[in-house]
A and B are shown apart, each in its own frame.
Chain A
Amino acid sequence: QVQLQESGPGLVKPSQTLSLTCTVSGGSISSGDYYWSWIRQPPGKGLEWIGYIYYSGSTYYNPSLKSRVTISVDTSKNQFSLKLSSVTAADTAVYYCARGILDTAMVPYFDYWGQGTLVTVSS
């Protein structure tokens, strides 16, 4: 059974960089069949996809966040990470990592999710 677990600071100051790591267990991040993703959900609101990374390091980001997002992978640790720069209060959200599977149109859908971690942006 694949499990994902987010970790990182729960409080980030405005204008700083949010950094989170997702540790994958029960399966290899290098299996080649999956696209490892970050998705967030502001309190009381809906889901927003941030981006994904393939084990080779290739990435695809949400155009609305692209200028501030970096997703990286460490296959030796079976982890992938998110960095979001220049954060504001609008970036306060529960951040989920998830395993993505691409459909025939190269659209990912998400079959396993981490439990999520709340990150608050405040001074």
Chain B
Amino acid sequence: SYELTQPPSVSVSPGQTARITCSGDALPKQYAYWYQQKPGQAPVLVIYKDSERPSGIPERFSGSSSGTTVTLTISGVQAEDEADYYCQSADSSGTSPVVFGGGTKLTVL
């Protein structure tokens, strides 16, 4: 089955830039989506179609794509950004139209 690979954890100090990657063979052909999930809460969409930001999401959140890797970048990280982040995409065959990465725990030091 298709897999999206994320690092288990990323740590940054407040004000620095956090980069969370997601790798998958089909990412050159499929859009990627990013969700933020804080403890005890439902996920929140923070990036759609690789790099688009939904209304209400701070400008410090951005997304990019290069080959088989997509990246969520959080510039000027704030304490409130500490959360789990999940990428989502699909395989290229249509067999698995929704696949989530394993998630990355962002720790703000």
Q: How far is the CB of B14 from chain A (nearest CB, A)?
A: 26
A103 touches B43 (CB 8 A): no
Interface range, A side: 20 to 34
Q: What 0/1 pattern do residues 79 to 90 of B give for CB contact below 8 A with A?
A: 000000010111
Q: How many residues of B contact A (CB 8 A)?
A: 28
* Residues of chain A within 8 A of B96, CB atoms compared: 62-63
* Residues of chain A within 8 A of B29, CB atoms compared: 105
* Residues of chain A within 8 A of B48, CB atoms compared: 109, 111
A106 touches B49 (CB 8 A): no
Q: How far is the CB of B38 from chain A (nearest CB, A)?
A: 12
B33 touches A96 (CB 8 A): no
B97 touches A64 (CB 8 A): no
Interface on B for A, CB 8 Å cutoff? 1, 29-31, 33, 35, 41-45, 48-49, 54, 86, 88-90, 94-103
Interface on A for B, CB 8 Å cutoff? 37, 46-49, 60, 62-64, 96, 103-111, 113-116
